[in-house]
Structure 1
Amino acid sequence: MIRNYKLYSRFFRSKYGSTTSICASRCISIKPKYDVIIVGAGHNGLVAAAYLQKAGVDVCVLEKRHVIGGAAVTEEIIPEFKFSRASYLLSLFRPQIINDLDLKKYGLKVYLRNPSSYTPLREPGGLNGKTTSLTLGMDSTFNKQQIAQFSIKDSHNFELYEEVLSKVVNCIEPLLDRVPIQVTRDIKQSLSAKKYDLQTVLAFLSSYKKTEQDLSTFYELMTAPAIKILDRWFESEPLKATLATDSVIGAMLSPHSPGSGYVLLHHVMGELEGVKGAWGYVEGGMGSVSTAISNCAVDHGARVLVNKCVEKINIENGRTKGVVLTTGTEIESNIVLSNATPKVTFLDLVSDNCLSEDLVSELKQIDYKSPVTKINVAVNKVPNFLADPNTTSDCIMPHHQTTIHINCEHSDLIHRAYLDSQHDHYSKEPVIEMVIPSSLDKTISPPGSHVVLLFTQYTPYTLANGQKWDEKTKQDYANIVFDSIERYAPGFKDSIIGSDILTPPDLENIIGLTGGNIFHGSMSLDQLYFSRPLSSLSNYKSPIKGLYLCGSGAHPGGGVMGSPGKLAAFKVLDDLKAKRIKK
């Protein structure tokens, strides 16, 4: 894959002329034709726009909502409280993209969290019967001391466990920044440098060689239930349950489900401020990530337009010709990138007769099940946990800065919550990841007040007996969540100023996430790498010439990562260059 942007820029300027001026790119008018149209201003679509525009390609991004960002969005639902309405933490975003797009120059600022995880207990426990919580962070000595409260054996094993996970992550990491190899019956043909650039082949072979050295560990993490892996390493439940939350977060899985081991792995692949596995808050909320990317794209000449809903993608004789907005406006382009889910892209925006029956059938079988209801809460004071009481009424304790795990001190609690959802009921004791970004970021709430973000599961898309997710049902579930927190932090319910409740149907209808799935499709082994979203669509291109997928439904998958957008952009640039050379 070519990485010389100046070379790309010179090449495309020779064809298209100089890039659009900054002033023109900020104009709200729509031109009748662009080199590239991107459907959806989620972070991946914006990443694609920035890379393409930097290379001299004239890009227009069309967003149906009034605000950019997709799931990486900040919204002031309650006056003076800025919610990261869907995604809420940063870690997986590729460092190279931050550097390539100079995102810190364009406003990206991150608060690194330490400690990173806090699990309060309902009742004191541990070896002395008096331990009230488990806190984990970046300091190995601190972690060892915390875990030793529950198990001396576990305190010695934890660092080794992290080393093994890091080793497997290092095996997979080269694949995150490369278009996937498409494996055919002929492996030699699959690895042919004629079909793929040499660096892609080398990345694939490098990952294979690394995993070959410890193939059993790699295979187990990719396929086994997380609890099987954790049981082998640890004996203390608060530790196992805390780690198990990463194996199910955002996925309709239990720690006992095959494949949950990979979801656990996916959530430790990140890097922030040069620290592997670190997570942090973005100043101004997650929408600031999208805004920084958009600022870069616009600064180089792209148009990023809101309130522009694409109704369909125009296709003639198997080739993309542009898009039609819901207003009836037609915009021409021979290249369209879709940041929407595969379902929306190919089943909603493309006419039925443009795809084969077999492909349509495969697309309908993609798994979008989601367990997530996101609840955003404005409170007038910081929560006060019984396990570690506040030293003063308004003080920020170290655990307030972390991910706080509620109903997570035993893996059985997680499994029972999952079982509720398998009968189309929401969980009576939901698994809750609670974060308080205002503990570090003072720009998102009034002084003394706080933003509390609750990532909760399990809530099925469709409830039993035809019950609807109406306002009453949503509030009933939210009350169960609030009651759960109240047991750990009395006074929480009285502190609530207002809330925003997003069930799976809400995440689908408002944010555009099919099934409410935050990953644009399950992160299961059958929907990863050369099978993401399908084996025939795994290199971002589609059977329709000029139509590309650039969202999280493409490799390497979900999370605020940016790789799908970048890799789709580079695929477009390679195809444009090849087309130009042929002429």
Structure 2
Amino acid sequence: MSAPHKLPRYDVVVVGAGHNGLVSAAYLAEAGLSVLVLERLGTTGGAAVSQELFPGRPAKLSRFSYLVSLFPDQISKDLGLDAQFRTRRTASYTPTIRRGQHTGLLIESNPGQQTADSFQALTGSSREYERWQSFHGRLAEMAQVLAPSMLEPMVARNKMRQRLGEDVWRWVVEQPLGATVEEVFADDLVRGTVATDGVIGTFADLHDPDLRQNRTFLYHHVGNGTGDWRVPIGGMGALSSSIERAAWKRGAEVLTRAFAQRVRSDGRHAQVQFQHGGESHVVECDWVLGNVAPWVMHLLLGENPGPRPEGSQIKVNMLLDRLPRLRSGVSPPLAFNGTFHVGESYDQLQQAYVEAQEGDIPEFPPGELYCHSLTDPSVMGTLAMEGMHAFTFFGLHAPARLYSGHVEAQRDETVLRILDAINVYLEEPIENLISLDENGNPCLEAMAPQDVEAALAMPGGHIWHGDLSWPWSTNRAAPDTPAHAWGVATHVDNVLMAGSGAARGGGVSGVAGHNAAMALLEILGKKDRTRDE
């Protein structure tokens, strides 16, 4: 009788080679653990990738995620990453029409006289700028407190409240964001420019009592203690590639086109079944880290995942032959260098939410237009010499329910409305500037939540993998395990969350990957590891 086949065995199997999974793998391999990372796609990086989308146009666009704020410098230092980031000259420009005249609000990345003058011209006084400076000064103080805590065991809620102070706590944590914005600011456009950070990928009324919008707002102001949103040089894929090299260098194995199908665990040992090369494979391990949405992890464990998360965004990637000219007369390189707000006054945001909640595509879709090739021309390759630029529109209040059953038709209708909304502020239709690929087709790609789910297996196309959580412990009792302390626990002892669905996950941050690795290393440092031979 032949001996039973012995399955391959690793200390850790990471499901998903998005940037968080790669961060976990690098830290754990550095500590001497054997690590296998399984990725169903042919490339790593998940949503943090750069791709040439249009035939004959060698521009590498950050197709899904595109800006970096939450990724801590400490992780880059720990892993020796060679990724580089550049701050945009302009933080934002919000065009509008006042008293029949085209104008707008310009905010510099380092606010100075130009920003002050823009507030004065828009509102007729300096009061709104003073309010803006005071409010964002308090948010900066909040970020300086919160950012370091993201890479530590979670702080108790009451302790964090004491650290942040009562004013910021009330503004951000206790009362709906809409109430805060209405309390602090008077101008409709200024209110909208501030409030938009609460509904990025989150379908919520600004007065929603469950405060989803507040948590999204908070995450947009925490990154690295500054809240700055930076452009990754070489595109988002350059960051993921740098993390992957760090993982390989430390001895982790990364297997692409490996589709995880099932995770079986008794809480101490686990088996992971996956498809690769047309065959089914099984590996044994002590620990499983899920760089997938919690909804997907439930499926892998053979459980009922509950309601599917619902994403709320539409993304449009474009190549333009040149920068559009603006009716306000502001310099295009200045206006488009940062976040160009479209339809994002306070009233417009609320109206769009009401329309989408009623099942209609917003008549004037709100969103943000980005031109990262102004900050990093390298993503355009030789096209930069021709004056071409890459543009991305990230549309808000576009819940997946709007596209159910009629994705293509409803998506196309949304794109037409988005282009019309942008054109309100341009001297010429943006359609006239969209480049053609080598086949004569417009260089334009649009993705509704369903398209994001199809491409990334991100349930519901939800960019946060589900509603974001507060970045501190909300339990009164002290956490009983390192996994709970680090916010990465599941109901299975040896299965940890290492993706955006973990506490303090979300965005391109690497925080969840780091924290899952730290929790596991803490566990292993407190007890002897046992393995079946």
TM-score (norm 2): 0.87
- 1:408-442 CA-to-partner distances (Å, cap 9, x unmatched) read 2x211111111111122222211111101111212
Q: How far apart in 2 are the matches of 1:52 and 1:135?
A: 45
Match of 1:285 among 235, 251, 265: 235
Cα distance, 1:403–1:103 mapped onto 2, change above 3 Å: same
Deviation sequence 1:232-284 (CA, Å, 0-9, x none): 2221222111111112111111333342233222211113xxx8222111122
Amino acid at match of 2:356: S
* Superposed CA RMSD: 2.5
Separation in 1 of the partners of 2:414 and 2:214?
Answer: 28
Work out the percentage of aligned pairs sharing the same amino acid: 27
Return closer, same or farther for 1:438/1:265 CA change in 2, 3 Å cut-off: same
User: Cα 1:330–1:530, aligned 2, differ >3 Å: closer, same or farther?
Assistant: farther
- What is residue 367 of structure 2 aligned with on the other side? 432
| Residues 439-458 of structure 1: pairs in structure 2 closer than 5 A | 439-445=374-380, 446-447=383-384, 448-458=387-397
Q: Is the counterpart of residue 227 in structure 1 residue 200 in structure 2?
A: no
Given that residues 39 and 63 in structure 1 are in contact (C-alpha distance below 8 angstroms), is that contact kept between their aligned partners in structure 2? yes
Q: Distance in 2 between matches of 1:435 and 1:463?
A: 24
Change (3 A) 1:317 1:90: closer
Shift, 1:387, TM fit: 1.7
Residue pair 2:370, 2:393 contacting (<8 A) in 1 also:
yes
Q: Would you say 1:210 and 2:158 are equivalent positions?
A: no
Question: 1 CA distance for matches of 2:137 and 2:357?
Answer: 35
* Residue 119 (structure 2) pairs with residue 147 (structure 1): yes
Question: Are positions 1:325 and 2:299 aligned together?
Answer: no
* 2:217 equivalent among 264, 284, 289: 264
Q: CA deviation at 1:32?
A: 2.8
Q: Distance in 2 between matches of 1:369 and 1:64?
A: 22
Q: Which amino acid aligns with 1:555?
A: A
State how far apart, in whole Å, the 2-side matches of 1:302 and 1:284 are.
25
Instruction: Return the offset for 1:333.
Output: 1.6
Greater alpha carbon shift after TM alignment, 484-493 vs 317-326: 317-326
2:348 alignment partner in structure 1: 413
Quote how far apart the aligned CAs of 1:208 are: 4.0
Describe how 1:8-23 pairs up with structure 2 within 5 A: none
Alignment map for 1:540-579 (pairs within 5 Å): 540-579=488-527
* Range moving further from structure 2, 308-317 or 446-455: 308-317
Q: Secondary structure at the match of 1:417?
A: helix
- Which residue number in structure 1 is paired with residue 88 of structure 2? 113
Distance apart, 1:491 and its partner CA: 3.0
Q: Any idea what SS the aligned residue of 1:132 has?
A: strand
The answer as to whether partners of 2:199 and 2:397 remain within 8 angstroms in 1 is: no
The answer for the alignment partner of 1:237 in structure 2 is 188
Whether contact under 8 Å (2:154, 2:472) holds in the other structure is no
Task: Tell me whether 488-497 or 33-42 shows the greater mean CA deviation.
Answer: 488-497
2:72 and 2:511 in contact (8 A); partners too:
yes
In structure 1, how many angstroms separate the alpha carbons of the residues matched to 2:499 and 2:132? Answer: 35
2:258 to 284, 308, 312: 308
What is the aligned partner in structure 2 of residue 337 from structure 1?
Answer: 289
Note if contact 1:180-1:555 (Cα within 8 Å) is conserved in structure 2: no
Give the 3-state SS of the residue equivalent to 1:96 in structure 2.
Answer: helix
* 1:378 partnered with 2:319: yes
Structure 2 residue matching 1:415: 3-state secondary structure: helix
Contact 2:273 2:280 in 1 (8 A): no
1:510 lines up with 2:488 in the alignment? no
Give the letter for the 2:456 counterpart. I
SS in 2 for 1:292: helix
User: Measured at CA, do residues 45 and 530 of structure 1 come closer, stay the same or move farther in structure 2, by a change above 3 Å?
Assistant: farther
Deviation by residue 1:59-114 (Cα, 9 ceiling, x = unmatched):
1211111221111111211131222111111111112111111212xxx1212112
How far apart are residue 33 of structure 1 and its match? 2.6
Which of the numbers 25, 44, 64 marks the counterpart of 2:20?
A: 44
Unaligned stretches of 5+ residues in structure 2: 1-6, 436-442
Partner of 2:440: none
TM-score, with structure 1 as normaliser: 0.80
Equivalent of 2:40 in 61, 64, 67: 64
Look up the SS of the partner of 2:378 in the other structure.
coil
1:344 corresponds to which letter in structure 2? V
C-alpha spacing 1:400/1:67, structure 2 compared with 1 (3 Å): same
1:25 is aligned to: none
CA–CA separation in structure 1 for the residues paired with 2:324 and 2:63: 20
| CA distance in structure 1 between the aligned counterparts of 2:341 and 2:252, rounded to whole angstroms | 41
1:169-200: per-residue Cα shift (whole Å, max 9, x none)?
A: 3343343122336xxxxxxxxxxxxxxxxxxx
Give the CA deviation at 1:556: 0.6
Match of 2:3 in 1: none
Q: Is the 8 A contact 1:529 1:556 kept in 2?
A: no
Aligned to 1:97: 75
Aligned twin of 1:134: 105
Query: C-alpha distance in 2, partners of 1:139/1:543?
Result: 47
